[in-house]
């Protein structure tokens, strides 16, 4: 009898898991409580994989394996029902891992995951290594495993994906940082969130390598109290010396210059990527040759335009407080800050001193701006709107020549936008209309 696999969620990871499961001989059904995009629907139709949308009514309840979208919480009734029936519930990362012999580099952390993941992939592929790129970055790991043959995979991994692993075992694992984010999924308990991040190394042995940010308070606390089995390498902003990085590795210190990314947080990301490339076996010369050619991530400190001596910066990907803090600390010029969106249990108090030092005005762009206004209105002039064009207008009213207008929301985007990319795109469109 053919074993059944139920895939919950028909986004990129869900459809990828469904296609891989079908190719491995499983009987597959896909169920999405929301609406499935036409692109993903067409993929399922072409593959003759049965599916439903807008309901879970037809989803089989007696299955041994469920592949769950990371966006679906464990509290969802369908998940609780399937778990009570004895189903194994996996993330797509866990499911696809079982069908590849490639070596794995896995990157997690609250901030900087995408930049670091892409930079590692850039350095490896430019050095001639056959490396795939997938994971939380928006590329299905399962599809990559199904359709391509790579020697290495560089995977961006979220805490939600790590919540549903069992055997996933990277060769190299990175934890960049841990700061409050997604606490609504973890009972507003930062320890539970940290434990989720540290699952990335739970199956690793002494042959693996664990790279982590030593300056990050919570990460370092966890390292000091947990039993860490893989070989550990830490990095610190002490490696940043002016415009160069001096990175110790083994018994040598290597200097890297002509760096492609700005800001101390990006120095952090580059250090992690360089240490990873050295661990894989790239020479310092190979890394230095290809480092300057890396192009940064869209919506991450992206310079949009210089208009009337005012610089517009799109950092829509700054969806939490820590990311917004990094953005605000990255400029020497006065900032008009555009922030707001869906609050995820944010505490804005860590931003207060930086706001006092760097910010001359705040425009709140969100449906509910009360917490932002309560925190900052007595410190700087504060305005609010639910329209991006109007937000830019208000920011211009607060600005002078040589200022920076910075979109760094510190919040999720789902109150007014489809996602952070949509928010950033609309911001850039409105700037270009000026």
- Same domain? For 177 and 246 the reply is yes
On whether residue 192 sits in a domain, the answer given is: yes
Least confident of 250-254, 328-332, 426-430: 328-332
Q: Are residues 328 and 390 in the same domain?
A: yes
- Would the pLDDT of 181 be above 80? no
- Gap between the Cα atoms of 142 and 417, Å rounded: 28
- The CATH number covering residue 426 comes to 3.90.190.20
In this structure, are 232 and 171 located in the same domain? yes
On whether both 35 and 115 belong to a single domain, the answer is no
Q: Tokens 């160069």 belong to which residue?
A: 244
Euclidean distance between CA atoms 101 and 204, whole angstroms:
15
**Residues 1-17: what's their mean pLDDT?**
94
Cβ-contact 151, 102 below 8 angstroms? yes
Per residue in 220-247, pLDDT (tens digit) is 999 999 999 999 999 999 999 988 999 9
Sort strands 335-339 and 4-8 into parallel, antiparallel or unpaired.
unpaired
Binding residue ranges for ATP: 109-115
In a domain, 388, yes or no: yes
Does residue 346 sit within a domain? yes
Task: Note the pLDDT of residue 68.
Answer: 97
Shared domain for 155 and 271, answered yes or no, is yes
> So what's the pLDDT on residue 145?
98
Residue 282's pLDDT is 98
Q: Is the pLDDT of residue 173 over 70?
A: yes
**pLDDT exceeds 90 at position 330:** no
Does some domain include residue 179? yes
Binding residue ranges: 109-115
**Six-digit token string for 228:** 């860490």
* Phi-psi region at 336: left, alpha or beta (left = phi > 0; alpha = psi -120 to 50): beta
Give the CATH number for residue 106.
3.40.1190.10
Q: Could you tell me if residue 48 is inside a domain?
A: yes
Asked whether the CA dihedral 383, 388, 394, 399 is positive or negative, the reply is positive
Q: Is the model's pTM score more than 0.85?
A: no
Average pLDDT of every residue of the chain:
95
Alpha helices in 77-233 (DSSP H): 77-84, 92-97, 113-126, 141-147, 159-162, 190-198, 217-225
> Is 337 contained in some domain?
yes
Average pLDDT over residues 159-186: 91
* Burial degree of 345 (CB within 10 A; 0-12, 13-18, 19+): middle
Residue 105 and residue 248 in one domain: yes
Residue 1 has pLDDT above 70, yes or no: no
154 and 271 inside one domain: yes
| 258, 112: one domain | yes
| Domain span at 121 | 100-293
Q: Are residues 368 and 341 in the same domain?
A: yes
User: Looking at the structure, do residues 283 and 370 belong to the same domain, yes or no?
Assistant: no
Whether the predicted pLDDT of 19 surpasses 80: yes
What pLDDT does residue 226 have? 93
**Number of domains forming the structure of the chain:** 3
Q: Taking 80 as the threshold, does the pLDDT of residue 182 lie above it?
A: no
pLDDT in tens, 393-429: 999 999 999 999 999 999 999 899 999 999 999 999 9
In a domain, 95, yes or no: no
Question: Are 28 and 49 a contacting pair, CB within 8 Å?
Answer: yes
Is residue 118 located within the same domain as residue 140?
A: yes
Of 241, 258, 293, which marks where a domain is finished? 293
In a domain, 16, yes or no: yes
**Angle CA(360)–CA(361)–CA(367) in degrees, nearest 5?**
155
Last residue of a domain, one of 36, 71, 90: 90
Choosing from 293, 316, 331, the residue where a domain stops is: 293
Q: What is the CATH number of the domain that holds 18?
A: 3.40.50.720
- Are 113 and 211 found together in one domain? yes
Confidence of residue 297 (pLDDT cuts 50, 70, 90): confident
């Amino acid at each position: 009898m053919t074993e059944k696999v139920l895939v919950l969620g028909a986004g990129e990871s869900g459809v990828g898991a469904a296609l891989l499961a079908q190719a491995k001989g499983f009987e597959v059904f896909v169920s999405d409580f929301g609406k499935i995009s036409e692109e993903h629907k067409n993929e399922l139709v072409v593959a003759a994989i049965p599916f439903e949308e807008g309901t879970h009514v037809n989803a089989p309840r007696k299955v041994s394996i469920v592949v769950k979208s990371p966006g679906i919480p464990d509290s969802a009734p369908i998940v609780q029902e399937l778990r009570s029936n004895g189903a194994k519930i996996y993330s797509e990362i866990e499911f696809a891992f079982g069908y590849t012999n490639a070596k794995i580099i896995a990157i997690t952390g609250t901030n900087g995951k995408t930049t670091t993941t892409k930079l590692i992939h850039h350095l490896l592929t430019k050095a001639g290594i056959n490396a795939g790129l997938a994971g939380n970055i928006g590329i299905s790991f399962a599809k990559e495993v199904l359709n391509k043959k790579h020697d290495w995979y560089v995977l961006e991994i979220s805490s939600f994906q790590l919540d549903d692993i069992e055997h996933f075992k990277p060769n190299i694992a990175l934890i960049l940082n841990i700061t409050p984010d997604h606490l609504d999924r973890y009972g507003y308990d930062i320890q539970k969130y940290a434990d989720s991040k540290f699952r990335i190394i739970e199956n690793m042995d002494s042959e693996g390598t664990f790279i982590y940010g030593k300056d990050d308070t919570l990460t370092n606390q966890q390292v000091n109290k947990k039993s860490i089995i893989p070989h550990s390498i830490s990095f610190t902003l002490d490696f940043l010396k002016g415009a160069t990085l001096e990175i110790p590795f083994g018994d040598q210190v290597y200097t890297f210059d002509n760096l492609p990314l700005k800001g101390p947080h990006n120095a952090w990301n580059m250090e992690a990527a360089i240490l990873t490339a050295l661990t894989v076996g790239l020479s310092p010369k190979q890394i230095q040759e290809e480092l300057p050619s890396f192009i940064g991530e869209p919506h991450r400190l992206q310079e949009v335009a210089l208009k009337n001596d005012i610089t517009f910066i799109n950092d829509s990907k700054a969806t939490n407080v820590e990311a917004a803090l990094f953005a605000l600390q990255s400029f020497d010029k006065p900032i008009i800050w555009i922030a707001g969106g869906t609050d995820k249990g944010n505490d804005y108090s860590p931003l207060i001193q930086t706001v006092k030092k760097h910010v001359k005005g705040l425009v709140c762009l969100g449906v509910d701006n009360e917490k932002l206004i309560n925190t900052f209105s007595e410190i700087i002039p504060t305005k609010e709107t639910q329209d991006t064009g109007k937000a830019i207008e208000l920011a211009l009213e607060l600005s002078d020549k040589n200022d920076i207008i910075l979109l760094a929301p510190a919040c999720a985007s789902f109150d007014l936008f489809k996602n952070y990319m949509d928010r950033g795109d609309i911001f850039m469109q409105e700037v270009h209309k000026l």
